[in-house]
Chain A
């Protein structure tokens, strides 16, 4: 019995030490990704490195297995319900559905930064019901779309029919790419956009949709697949139509899979974002805001890198591959 009481006391003592250590607490940031894919894994790595440098503890929410608010919101809520988080940065999976959810979190005293995707139209400077996040840190997808259109036109000699394989019509990032791509094509009078489809992040759907587009337009010259699923689907469709190499494929995001495909000459063009940079910036700005009260710019936009079959093996290009 005596031994038991002593052990119990020792445990209590130990626990109180842990509790005291907790009082002199370090900042705790939470990162809630949009879906399990290399883009967000890379973002987490960038954020982790910066967090370690600044002495911030980073808690990463479970990666949702599919894209959509019904997958993300329960995880996000559970993450925030821990109650020990000082700042949240997240990639909202819907421009509308996440507004009330993030508002509630922001109201409860946790500052919110959106990364990669945003809520509303992403302009947090004007009065609206979605201007509460501290900042949007992510790629200018519209500009990127324009860049892809220009590069694809360059590959095709400024003329030909192109097709756009998109993913989700209610996601700000990919819709920005689409709008930018459309705008970019307008500069080239001989380039024609013959169709746009949405595969909802399902590769098989992308194969079918691009396959159908090829049937309809046998002279299709190029496809822009806005992310890994749509680009790889586009490639499979092109190959099974016996047109491998003849139809140029441009895509977005330098995942190792896509870089390998570029090296095998299955793809022609990859626009790389800088996810590690985005994650790192989110942590850095969040830290500055909480410790120094720094005013964060409402929009922080890192640049791009364009991979082609020619430069993919260059040593200085390697840093832009998502790992």
Chain B
């Protein structure tokens, strides 16, 4: 009896972890077929390339779990990148030190970035505007304001030390000679630079610190439980004493906070602020959340799933470049994975139920 059902049980547990297995399979495939795909540099580049999607998707996970959607995040990245860059430039020309200009710029972008989130939440929770419409409106407003603030021109002449931070690494290692933390060793010869091993990009560290904090909040705290409760059944949550309206506003603010953070990271990486920054990543972010197992009907989803979903996309993206395959194939591949993810989401409850019956 047990032996007969064992393969089925294995099948179901594979199905439950299919995204992780798929991700590892992807890496293995590109590792075998590609050139130097599994190398420290390339794997780090994949993580750097996916920071925007990872951040947007983390915030989006909260919103999607409540049964809503946040479309504003696409242009929120550009909005906050422009604010961040503009504040830095103005403060530096006003005579502030670079450190002060950078920190105030970052803080300003993160704080102002909360406002659109608050408005989104207010519209959705208090005025009952469908989240699709409220955030789609904010999508346009954020873009328009960003273009106005930067006068339709990417922001220039940012503090020079930004690049050191955005393109820096946690560790620099010259085998046998130098091991340095955060500071890139100076005075290296050309040959030494060639052999310098850089480990863990700063932007990836910052990204994952925030993702970890909010993964903890979602999984282990009352706030997280309430988020799931609202998505599962909003009326039941209300009857159970959850302050649904305030909670929803907070959720939308989390989402716009992550979008602003992505904008700040954009400034760190590209040393400029542009209004259209990040807009191309909106759908990737939503795709990542859905591949990661969240349901657009609400009540389901995890940050870890979302992270895996985002990585599946960027591993594929970089892999196709490595193999010199036109990126247009990426759209097809990602679309197929997305639909596959939703199908699994539809049918797995039945399978898991059957497993429990056994």
Beyond A62-B327, A81-B36, whether A96 also contacts B278 by CB under 8 A is no
Binds A, one of B242-250, B265-273, B289-297: B265-273
Binds B, one of A46-54, A68-76, A235-243: A68-76
Determine if A200 and B36 form an interchain contact, defined as CB atoms under 8 angstroms apart.
no
Beyond A82-B322, A170-B153, whether A97 also contacts B270 by CB under 8 A is yes
CB distance from B357 to the nearest CB of A (A): 42
Interface residues of B in 25-46 (CB under 8 A from A): 34-37, 39, 41-42, 45-46
The winner among B154, B274, B276 for most chain A CB atoms within 10 A is B154
The winner among B190, B277, B318 for most chain A CB atoms within 10 A is B318
Determine if A78 and B45 form an interchain contact, defined as CB atoms under 8 angstroms apart.
yes
Q: Is B219 an interface residue (CB 8 A)?
A: no
CB distance from B244 to the nearest CB of A (A): 37
CA distance A218 to B48 in the complex (A): 50
CA distance A73 to B163 in the complex (A): 14
**How many chain B residues touch A (Cβ–Cβ < 8 Å)?**
44
Q: Is A189 an interface residue (CB 8 A)?
A: no
Q: Which residues of B contact A168 (CB under 8 A)?
A: 154
Q: Which residues of A contact B321 (CB under 8 A)?
A: 61-62, 74-75, 78-79
CA distance A59 to B52 in the complex (A): 27
CA distance A81 to B319 in the complex (A): 11
Interface residues of A in 64-100 (CB under 8 A from B): 65-66, 68-71, 73-75, 77-79, 81-84, 94, 96-97, 99-100
Q: Which residues of B contact A61 (CB under 8 A)?
A: 321
CA distance A81 to B48 in the complex (A): 13
CB distance from A96 to the nearest CB of B (A): 5
Q: Which residues of B contact A77 (CB under 8 A)?
A: 45, 48-49
**How many chain A residues touch B (Cβ–Cβ < 8 Å)?**
36
Q: Which of A69, A83, A198 contacts B153 (CB 8 A)?
A: A198
Q: Is A319 an interface residue (CB 8 A)?
A: no
Q: Is A120 an interface residue (CB 8 A)?
A: no
Q: Which residues of B contact A96 (CB under 8 A)?
A: 156, 158, 271-272
Q: Which residues of A contact B271 (CB under 8 A)?
A: 96-97, 99-100
CA distance A127 to B64 in the complex (A): 52
CB distance from A51 to the nearest CB of B (A): 15
Q: Which residues of B contact A73 (CB under 8 A)?
A: 49, 269-270
A98 and chain B: residue at smallest CB distance: B270
Q: Which residues of B contact A99 (CB under 8 A)?
A: 163, 271
Q: Is A301 an interface residue (CB 8 A)?
A: no
30 A–B pairs (Cβ distance < 8 Å), ordered by A: A60-B324, A62-B321, A62-B324, A62-B327, A65-B327, A68-B277, A69-B270, A70-B278, A78-B321, A81-B39, A81-B42, A81-B45, A96-B156, A96-B158, A97-B270, A97-B271, A97-B272, A99-B163, A100-B163, A100-B167, A101-B167, A107-B193, A107-B196, A108-B194, A129-B160, A168-B154, A170-B153, A170-B156, A198-B152, A200-B276
A residues adjacent to B (C-beta < 8 A): 59-62, 65-66, 68-71, 73-75, 77-79, 81-84, 94, 96-97, 99-101, 104, 107-109, 129, 168-170, 198, 200
